[in-house]
C-alpha cells in the first residue's frame, strides 16, 4: 500500500518522536509512505471568517502538491494539520466561487485545484484500510498490563462534518490500544481542550487544564496518557512543569503519542521512539512493563 504523506512543521522539530515512531510502525505494517517532495505550513488553524480567503491559501497549495504527486489522497499525523487541510478542502468544495478567486490569485500554480484530494488522518488509514484486526495479527510485543488513557482533544473530532469519530464519545484510540494489548482507560476529560495556542501567552491557563485533564486520567487508573496532536503533547507533557509548580498535589504522568505505543507493539527499536524528547520521562514505566 502506497500513501502520500504531509508531515507539517512540528513533526520535523519538536515532534520527531511522533513522526519517527509512525514511520517505523507503518513500515512494519507494509505501508510505503511517500512524503510530498515540497510542502509548506498548512496555516495551523482554520480561519473562521467568511471573508478572508487569503488564510486558506497555504492549505490549498499543499493540496496542489498532492495532485502534483499524482495522488488522490494525503495522510496527516498532526491533528491540527488534519483539521485545517480538511476544513479548507471542504470549504472550497462547497463554494466554487471562492475557489475561483483563489485560482486567480495563485496564477503561478500549474494545477487549478478542484477540491478532489481526500485528506485523511493516520488513524483512518489504520482503521479503514489496514484494519485493526490485521494490526492485531502483527503485534510482536503486546502492551500487556499497560493502562493507557487516550486523549483525543478537539481537532480530530470537531466539528462533526470533518471529525473521524463520535464527537462526544470517541473510541478509536481506545480501540487501537485494546488490540495492541493495553488496557484502555476511559476518562471524562478525553475531549476537553488543553488550551492549545494559549500556551504562548497564557501558560498558567494551560497549567490549569493540564491539571484537570491529567488528574482525571490518573484518578481513573491510567499509568500514561496517549495523544495524537503535537500541541496537546507539548501542553500535557512539557507544561507539567508549570502544573507541578501551581498545584502541590499534582502527580506527573508520562505522555506518549499513540504512534509510539503502536511502534513498540510492532517491534520497532527504541531509536524510533525518540524518548529523549519528552519532559516527563516515560522510560521507567516502559522498562518496568518490559516494553523497552
Helix axes of 96-105 and 57-68: crossing angle, nearest 10 degrees: 80
CA distance 205 to 195: 7
Question: Closest distance between other proteins and the C-beta of residue 167, in Å?
Answer: 5
Question: Closest distance between other proteins and the C-beta of residue 128, in Å?
Answer: 23
Question: Closest distance between other proteins and the C-beta of residue 77, in Å?
Answer: 12
Specify the residue, 10 or 228, whose C-beta has the smaller distance to other proteins: 10
CA distance 73 to 135: 22
Question: Closest distance between other proteins and the C-beta of residue 242, in Å?
Answer: 11
Would you state the cell numbers that stand for residue 175, as one nine-digit string?
Answer: 480501540
Q: Residue 213: in which H helix or E strand, if any?
A: helix 203-219
CA distance 249 to 35: 44
Specify the residue, 170 or 266, whose C-beta has the smaller distance to other proteins: 170
Closest-CA residue to 195 (of 245, 253, 242): 242
Question: Closest distance between other proteins and the C-beta of residue 19, in Å?
Answer: 13
Specify the residue, 132 or 250, whose C-beta has the smaller distance to other proteins: 250
Question: Closest distance between other proteins and the C-beta of residue 287, in Å?
Answer: 27
Terminal CA-CA length for the chain: 29
Specify the residue, 47 or 178, whose C-beta has the smaller distance to other proteins: 47
Give the interface with other proteins as residue ranges (CB under 8 A).
8-10, 13-15, 41, 43-45, 47-52, 55, 78, 80, 154, 158-160, 167-168, 191-193, 195-202, 205, 208-209, 230-231, 234, 238
Specify the residue, 134 or 204, whose C-beta has the smaller distance to other proteins: 204
Q: How far is CA 247 from the centre of its chain?
A: 28
Specify the residue, 166 or 270, whose C-beta has the smaller distance to other proteins: 166
From edge to edge, which strands make up the β-sheet containing 32-35?
Answer: 32-35, 2-6, 73-76, 118-121
Amino acid at each position: 500500500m502506497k500513501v502520500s504523506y504531509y508531515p507539517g512543521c512540528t513533526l520535523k522539530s519538536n515532534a520527531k518522536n511522533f513522526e519517527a515512531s509512525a514511520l517505523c510502525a507503518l513500515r512494519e505494517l507494509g505501508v510505503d509512505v511517500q512524503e510530498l517532495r515540497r510542502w509548506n505550513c498548512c496555516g495551523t488553524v482554520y480561519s473562521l471568517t467568511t471573508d478572508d480567503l487569503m488564510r486558506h491559501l497555504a492549505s490549498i497549495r499543499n493540496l496542489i502538491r498532492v495532485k502534483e504527486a499524482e495522488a488522490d489522497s494525503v495522510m496527516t499525523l498532526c491533528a491540527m494539520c488534519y483539521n485545517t487541510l480538511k476544513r479548507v478542502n471542504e470549504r472550497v468544495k462547497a463554494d466554487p466561487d471562492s475557489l475561483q478567486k483563489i485560482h486567480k490569485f495563485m496564477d503561478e500554480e500549474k494545477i487549478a485545484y478542484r477540491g478532489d484530494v481526500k485528506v485523511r488522518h493516520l488513524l483512518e488509514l489504520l482503521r479503514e484500510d489496514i484494519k485493526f484486526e490485521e494490526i492485531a495479527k502483527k503485534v510482536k510485543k503486546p502492551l500487556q498490563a499497560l493502562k493507557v488513557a487516550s486523549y483525543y482533544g478537539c481537532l480530530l473530532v470537531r466539528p462533526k462534518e470533518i471529525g473521524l469519530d463520535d464527537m462526544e464519545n470517541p473510541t478509536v484510540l481506545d480501540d487501537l490500544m485494546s488490540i495492541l494489548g493495553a488496557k484502555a482507560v476511559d476518562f471524562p476529560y478525553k475531549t476537553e481542550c488543553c488550551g492549545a495556542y494559549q500556551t504562548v501567552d497564557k501558560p498558567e491557563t494551560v497549567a490549569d487544564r493540564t491539571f484537570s485533564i491529567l488528574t482525571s486520567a490518573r484518578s481513573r487508573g491510567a499509568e500514561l496518557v496517549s495523544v495524537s496532536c503535537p500541541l496537546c503533547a507539548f501542553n500535557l507533557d512539557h507544561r507539567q512543569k508549570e502544573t507541578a509548580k501551581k498545584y502541590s498535589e499534582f502527580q506527573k504522568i508520562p505522555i506518549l503519542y499513540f504512534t509510539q505505543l503502536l511502534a513498540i507493539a510492532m517491534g520497532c527499536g527504541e531509536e524510533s521512539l525518540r524518548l529523549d524528547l519528552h519532559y516527563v520521562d516515560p522510560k521507567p514505566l516502559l522498562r518496568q512493563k518490559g516494553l523497552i
